[in-house]
Amino acid sequence: MKVSTFNAASIRARMHLLLEWLAENEPDVLGIQETKVEDEKFPLADFEDLGYHASLHGQKSWNGVAILSRTSPTSVCRGFEDDLFPTDARLVTAEIDGVQIINTYVPNGSSVGSDKFIYKLRWLERFGRFLRERFSPDQPLIWMGDINIAPTPIDVYNSPRFYGGVGHHPEEMARLEQIVGFGLVDVFRKFHPEKGHYTFWDYTLPNGPERNLGWRIDHIYATHTLADQCTSCEVDKAARLQPKPSDHTFVTAVFDR
């Protein structure tokens, strides 16, 4: 099973890149974040032409997540299904080939101490409860997406400069650690324990990808039973160097199942 994640930063602006990448790489599952489109306006037919089903949770102009899958998904869930975050299109889950797939676009947080930062912390806490309420660490489960947290010093090109700011803040890291404590493995770090690997390069930094001034904030986690079957996990930096790219790129994990 080949599973990928990608923050498109507007799916309609990134269709050229997405369709070419899908045709070339042929993942079984692709989680997309920041689709920025209502479900009824999602460009479904283009993906169906490539043989994909879509599980959607979108909204106009903001947020939005989707799961594309080769096989038909079951048990699709959109959001937390409660009144705490009722219009926040940041979470979609589906069962695909016996694996629970969770795709999230975690809030950015804007600035430390802001309402948006507090909202991010609350969202992370709610997601941790969601995992424990709905799933078991003994089942095959993958959590992926734009997590908007660089959890260790080697996940940011200049950790001393950014530590304590949004995306690299100890309160965010603590909440992510609690989530991972459910029984998850960061499968990228299983194969790449060294520094220098990133998934996001800010548009505003001149030649950021070429200079590798990046952050690793797009992650793929798996429960231990599935992580043991993971044979590779790679960042496709080349996609970030294409014309009109997203500021994020694809991360792909392969599981022997």
- Write out the catalytic residue numbers: 105, 146
- Report which of 195, 232, 229 is spatially closest to residue 213, judged by C-alpha positions: 195
- Report which of 173, 128, 182, 122 is spatially closest to residue 150, judged by C-alpha positions: 173
The residues, ordered by sequence, that sit 6+ positions from 180 with a Cβ below 8 Å of its Cβ are: 186, 221
The residues, ordered by sequence, that sit 6+ positions from 152 with a Cβ below 8 Å of its Cβ are: none
Report whether 105 contacts 63 (CB < 8 A).
yes
Within 10 A of 103 (CB to CB), how many other CB atoms are there?
Answer: 26
Q: What's the maximum distance between 2 C-alpha atoms anywhere in the chain?
A: 47
Q: Which two tokens stand for residue 11?
A: 């799916």
